[in-house]
Each structure stands twice: as structure tokens, then as C-alpha cells.
């Protein structure tokens, strides 16, 4: 059965059959989930199978895993099509394992793409386009009252020459989200006012801070932001006026008003 990789109009996200999904390869594994490349058949009357990305949520406690799964499902289900946000295709909740199924991005993670471009080369115009792609996608999420909370190059996917925002495991619906738990946070991408153990208030402005760090990642071709020695004192460093240094090779142009 041929696998179709070219984009097509996905139907609205809906319950899928586990038997229609065939794993092709493992794409990655993190603290909260396993992501696979798979072939999905019987989607919207499309002949053949469609390449998709399938996310299995994994946590030690089943109850906690269900909470995480349901939160990401709720956020993803609220999304409509946007060219700079990964398309949510459907879910499996009536059978085990429970799955979230997304559009497959052929070029993979932006972070890996940027690091590879150090060898292959990439134009400054393309890097600027990537920053604009993410800005457009984040503007859409903000219009839907979605706070991403984990915006970084590792959570952006590249499809063709287009960047798409992905990974809504930390995302929340609402103009303001107050973190009451002791969730792990990506400290080098997090706004300083949120670098507290609990009751941190996340909103669009805190996503804007993360976007600034992401732009630095893009222009530095995937370098790690800040020094690793700052890990335990990044909040004090930022509150003291410390900031990211200019990426190597980047040029700053001042426009006259």
C-alpha cells in the first residue's frame, strides 16, 4: 500500500481506529512521550495511507498520564488549520494505547535542522522567514487564548520550507494560567517571573519572552542559550540585567527613523 507524503486537506480531528495506524519508525522519546512516524489509512476518503506522527503519552502513574493526555487533547482539539501550527488529525481514546495523531513534518525538528545547516549552509533570509513563521503561528495561538509555555526550537517542526509550532504537552487554554504544581520547566526559555516553584503566572507575554530565546536559537543555528553554568542561577542573572549575547556571525543593522 503506497504511503502518501504530500499535504492534503485533513478532515476535522476525530476518533481514529488503532487498527488503521501502522508504525513505520520511532522519531523521538522524551520525559512525557514517545513519538512515532506511522501510516494512517481510511482518512477522509483518501486512497492509500497518509504519513502521520503519533504521540504516546507515558508516565508511571496511569491517572497522571490520563490527566496529561486529556489536557493536550483539549488544547489540540481547539485548533483549526493554520499553516504555521502542526495540524491535529485525530486521537485514539476508545482503545489502548491512547494516541494523539498529528500531521507529519518531513524535515523534522527545527533544532536538528539548524544544527545540520552548519554543514550544509542556510541563507539569512531563510532564517528570518523561520522567525516570521513562528511569530504567525504564535499570533494564531494567542487569538485562541492558548498559552504554549514550552516554545523552543526543539518544539518547532519543519515541513518543506515552513516552520510549524508543535508539542502542546505544557500548553493551556486561557488568557492567564497559574502554575500550582511543581512541573519541570525549561528554565533557559522561561520568563524570569515564572522561574518560581509555584503560582507562576503564564500569559502571552511570557510566551513572547520564550519567542525571543527561540529567535536567538535560530540565528545561532541551534546553539544552546546561555552558559550551562547559569542553570542554578538564571533567575538572578536575568533580574540583574544579564541577557543573551549576540549570536556568532549575526549582524545588527540599525534603521534611522
What positions carry a catalytic annotation?
Answer: 150
Report whether 58 contacts 65 (CB < 8 A). Answer: yes
Report whether 153 contacts 114 (CB < 8 A). Answer: yes
Tell me 28's DSSP state.
Answer: E
**Residue 26: how many CB atoms within 10 A of its CB?**
10
**Contacting residues for 46 by C-beta, under 8 A, at least 6 apart:** 4, 8
Instruction: Phi first, then psi: give them for residue 152, nearest 5 degrees.
Output: -165, 165
What DSSP string runs through 239-250?
HTT--PPPPTT-
Amino acid at each position: 500500500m503506497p504511503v502518501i507524503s504530500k499535504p492534503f486537506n485533513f478532515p476535522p480531528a476525530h476518533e481514529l481506529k488503532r487498527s488503521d495506524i501502522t508504525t513505520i519508525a520511532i522519531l523521538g522519546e522524551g520525559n512525557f512521550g514517545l513519538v512515532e512516524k506511522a501510516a494512517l489509512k481510511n482518512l477522509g476518503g483518501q486512497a492509500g495511507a497518509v504519513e502521520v506522527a503519533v504521540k504516546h503519552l507515558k508516565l508511571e502513574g496511569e491517572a497522571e498520564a490520563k490527566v496529561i493526555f486529556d489536557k493536550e487533547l483539549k488544547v489540540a482539539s481547539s485548533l483549526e488549520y493554520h499553516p504555521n501550527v502542526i495540524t491535529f488529525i485525530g486521537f485514539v481514546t476508545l482503545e489502548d494505547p491512547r494516541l494523539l495523531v498529528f500531521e507529519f513534518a518531513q524535515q523534522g525538528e527545527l533544532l536538528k535542522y539548524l544544527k545540520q545547516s552548519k554543514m550544509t549552509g542556510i541563507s539569512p533570509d531563510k532564517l528570518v522567514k523561520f522567525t516570521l513563521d513562528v511569530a504567525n503561528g504564535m499570533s494564531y495561538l494567542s487569538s485562541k487564548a492558548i498559552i504554549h509555555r514550552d516554545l523552543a526550537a526543539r518544539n518547532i517542526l519543519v515541513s518543506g520550507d515552513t516552520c510549524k509550532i508543535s508539542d502542546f504537552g505544557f500548553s493551556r487554554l486561557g488568557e492567564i494560567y497559574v502554575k500550582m504544581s511543581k512541573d519541570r520547566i525549561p528554565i533557559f526559555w522561561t520568563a524570569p517571573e515564572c522561574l518560581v516553584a509555584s503560582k507562576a503566572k503564564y500569559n502571552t507575554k511570557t510566551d513572547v519572552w520564550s519567542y525571543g530565546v527561540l529567535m536567538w536559537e535560530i540565528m545561532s543555528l541551534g546553539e544552546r542559550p546561555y552558559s550551562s553554568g547559569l542553570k542554578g542561577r538564571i533567575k538572578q542573572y536575568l533580574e540583574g540585567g544579564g541577557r543573551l549575547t549576540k549570536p556568532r556571525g549575526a549582524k545588527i543593522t540599525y534603521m534611522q527613523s
